[in-house]
Amino acid sequence: MRDSFVGVLTEQAAEHPELLLLTGDLGFGVLNDFIARFPRQFLNMGVAEQNMTGVAAGLALEGHTVFTYSIGNFPTLRCLEQIRNDVCYHNANVKVVCVGGGMSYGPVGMSHHATEDLAILRSLSGIEVFSPGDLWEAAEATRYLLAKEGPAYLRLDKSAARSTVRSGEKFRPGKIRVVRDGDDVTLAATGGILGEALTAAETLTSQGISCRVLSVHTIKPLDIETLSAAANETGGIITIEEHNVDAGLGGAVAEALLEAGVIPGFFARMGLRNTFSSVVGSQTFLRKVYGLDAAAIADTVSAKLRINAKVHA
């Protein structure tokens, strides 16, 4: 996804002289072309992400569109005070970009994993939160953020679902995409783990279970209309996120539905539960360890449908 993001910035930079890209001393392999072509629109701020965020806020208040760029928790949780006080409070035009959302950087351990970021950043006033599921969504979210004033968070995964874009489809910020239709259950996923949800849906289809799959690429603002339709039109909703279930996608969906007075037939949250992703291994391996791969999703759906059938027997 980071290549899609950088590709859009490089494509658009000449037309947006106000654009600045700030990095916390990483990403040079993927950023080299941007740096070579637009050296005056790039700053390496060193391993000093809090300072990077403060500088970004100042530059934004002087008229720039500023993207900050780093791994996992470094541009987010490490900089939470600066994002809250400097960026959001002043409605500064700063876009915080995390590469390696969730457990993307599996082998380097939990310090490099972003598994609480969605919950924390969506709680801040005035910020939009994006978590694309495939390369097209990542590119289109970047284009939107270039044009949109105000604070935003863009969470980029190392993994990505296969292309889900339909011919002629336009990206709509804040509007959930129905990437697969079905009636028995809704799988609402955010980020690259959308790919696991789609694989699970294919497995379940072979078992006679029809799955609606939603790509929740925008966590804030959240699309209550599409979620309400899913709750009313399918047997239940299961949220899937490479993130702690507390206050993440699952929490956001539950809050929105309950406040709207819409109760799905059943509801379940799949994600980390009161634990850190402390096992070391690849992202694929960690999804299996923590019960977030396609097989675990399919098993959860089957179990929920059996329980629901007994309740209504």
In the predicted model, is pLDDT for residue 87 greater than 70? yes
Q: How confident is the model at residue 18 (pLDDT cuts 50, 70, 90)?
A: very high
* Out of 21-30, 82-91, 182-191, 255-264, least confident range: 21-30
Q: Please state the domain extents for the chain.
A: 2-156, 177-311
First CA to last CA across the chain, in angstroms? 45
- Mean pLDDT score, 80-85: 98
Average pLDDT over residues 43-48: 96
- Could you tell me the two tokens for 188? 């609402």
Residue 27 has pLDDT above 90, yes or no: no
What is the distance between the alpha carbons of residues 289 and 281, in angstroms, rounded to a whole number? 10
List, for residues 223-244, the tens digit of each pLDDT value. Answer: 999 999 999 999 999 999 999 9
CA 42 to CA 55: how far, in whole Å? 13
Task: Provide CATH code, domain 177-311.
Answer: 3.40.50.920
pLDDT tens readout for residues 89-115:
999 999 999 999 999 999 999 999 999
Residue 313 has pLDDT above 70, yes or no: no
pLDDT at 234: 98
User: pLDDT at residue 311 above 80?
Assistant: no
Task: Give percent of the chain with pLDDT exceeding 70.
Answer: 99
288 Cβ contact partners less than 8 Å away, ≥ 6 residues apart = 295, 296
Q: Which two tokens stand for residue 290?
A: 């923590």
pLDDT tens readout for residues 263-308: 999 999 999 999 999 999 999 999 999 999 999 999 999 999 998 8
pLDDT of residue 45: 97
pLDDT band, very low/low/confident/very high, at 258 (cuts 50, 70, 90): very high
Tell me if domain 2-156 and domain 177-311 are identical in fold.
yes
Using one digit for the tens of pLDDT, what is the confidence trace for 184-200? 999 999 999 999 999 99
**Confidence label for 309 from pLDDT (cuts 50, 70 and 90):** confident
pLDDT in tens, 138-181: 999 999 999 999 999 999 999 999 999 999 999 999 999 999 99
Contacts of 202 (CB under 8 A, 6+ apart): none
Please give the class, per CATH, of domain 2-156: alpha beta
pLDDT value of position 308: 82
Write down the pLDDT at residue 310. Answer: 73
Task: Supply the residues annotated as catalytic.
Answer: 49
pLDDT > 90: percent of the chain? 96
Task: Report pTM.
Answer: 0.97
Q: Is the pLDDT of residue 2 over 80?
A: yes
Interacting residues of 137 by C-beta distance below 8 A, sequence separation 6+: 164, 171, 177, 215, 217
